[in-house]
Amino acid sequence: MTVTEVRPDDATLRVARRTRVLAQMEAADIDVLVVGREGNARYVSGAPRLWTAGSRAFGPGCVLVRATGSVHLLSTWDEGIPDDIPHEHLYGISFNAANFVKALQRIEGAATARTVATDALTPSSAQLLPKAFPSAELVDGEPLLRRVRRVKMPEEVDAIRASVRVAERALGEAEVALAPGVTERQLTGVFMEAMASAGVTTPATQDVAWVTSRQDPWHRASRDLAVEPGDLVAFDAGVILGGYSGELGRTHAVDGDVAIDRGLSQTWDELWDRLLAACRPGAPLTGLLDAYEAAGVPPPPMPVARGLGLGFDLPLVTHALPRTAGEQQVEPGMVLALTAYAWKERVGALFGQEPVVVTAGGPELLTTNPFRYARS
């Protein structure tokens, strides 16, 4: 039976994550950490809160005190709150900034904290936080959290793997429904229904299926297209289970009797082999960008690689940010959504994405049935 009750993250996992953050706070001599980004708040607290799409301004959503290890959380209810966060450590939503200041002032050690780190800041927050922490210097806490979260613990890899399993099963249902005449939204609906049947209600993206363009390297029609024989249909399948995102991408020809262009599929496979070869511990992340050039494939319209986890995970490897990639290396424990994208005029595009964990021995795919276009 599918469990739909809202529950906190596994106790072992959330304690291990919090311990890593506290160790970094100790090393940086940070007394209090104030986070507003939901992924960071989930990492610290282990509490699933209301999921919302889109951006939002910084707010003190979660507070971690180094001296006591206690967590204070913005929440108006107890459901899903871990038992190590007592009710008196919860504070409610308010449109009055002064109420937030009062809530923060009640936190133990707020008046005497010397260094307070935040993962973001707005001009108004920069004026309000000193009132809550009058003796403290405000510093940037995002680098600390990036160091902690970029390399995943084995338990986190298992959580991502579980999300990938749900995404794979839901994608399988959508692939079965692929036939001439079906629309992109209908395919997305099949995926969403299968995902929800597994007890997961949050997709990683709203647009699961789209017909790739035969005229433009990157074009997604705004209308709901019905697929036709010979079309290459891309699936961007992802779900969020237990806070962790599991994502994969596939491309299929609409009519089973129509084979994917041999030259395009061989190009994709060569590109994929080069991308995997670049996922060696210690290798510069620019190697992932170089893989496209070596395979003779233009830069893709999406990141070549990005971290998977609780949201906004690093690294982010894109041709638009080559200097950033050059300053970073592949590290064991990184979990990446690795993307190969190749397009051919009058044929369409092949989009493939695999969740990959970097181990000491190299990359390991987290899917049960990795797809190879030229060899399928």
Mean pLDDT on 218-229: 80
At residue 53, the pLDDT reads 57
CA atoms within 13 A on the CB side of 165: 10
Query: How far is it, in rounded angstroms, from Cα 321 to Cα 305?
Result: 12
375 pLDDT band (50/70/90 cuts)?
very low
Rounded to whole angstroms, the Cα distance separating 15 from 66 reads: 14
274 Cβ partners below 8 Å, 6+ apart? Answer: 291, 294, 295
Residue 20's pLDDT band (boundaries 50, 70, 90)? Answer: very high
- For residue 117, pLDDT over 60 is answered with yes
Average of per-residue pLDDT values in the chain: 92
Average pLDDT on 242-255 reads 94
Mean pLDDT on 298-326: 95
Question: Which residues are registered as beta bridge partners of 63?
Answer: 34, 72
- Tell me the pLDDT tens digit for each residue of 157-215: 999 999 999 999 999 999 999 999 999 999 999 999 999 999 999 999 888 999 999 99
Question: Which tokens in the block code for residue 299?
Answer: 């830069």
Residue closest to 237 by CA, chosen among 167, 314, 152: 167
Give me the long-range contacts of 132-136 (CB less than 8 A, separation at least 24): 132/100, 132/101, 132/104, 132/105, 133/32, 133/104, 135/111, 136/31, 136/32
CA distance 355 to 84: 32
Q: For residue 303, what pLDDT band results from cuts at 50, 70 and 90?
A: very high
pLDDT band at 2 (very low <50, low <70, confident <90, very high): low
For the entire predicted model, the pTM comes to: 0.93
The percentage of the chain sitting over the pLDDT mark of 70, rounded to a whole number, equals 95
What's the pLDDT tens digit per position in 345-372?
Answer: 999 999 999 999 999 999 999 999 887 7
Are the C-beta atoms of 47 and 11 separated by less than 8 Å? no
Number of alpha helices (DSSP H) and beta strands (DSSP E) in the chain? 10, 14
Cα–Cα distance measured from residue 71 to residue 282, given in angstroms and rounded to the nearest whole number: 35
In the structure, what pLDDT confidence band is assigned to residue 1 with cuts at 50, 70 and 90? very low
| pLDDT value at residue 271 | 97
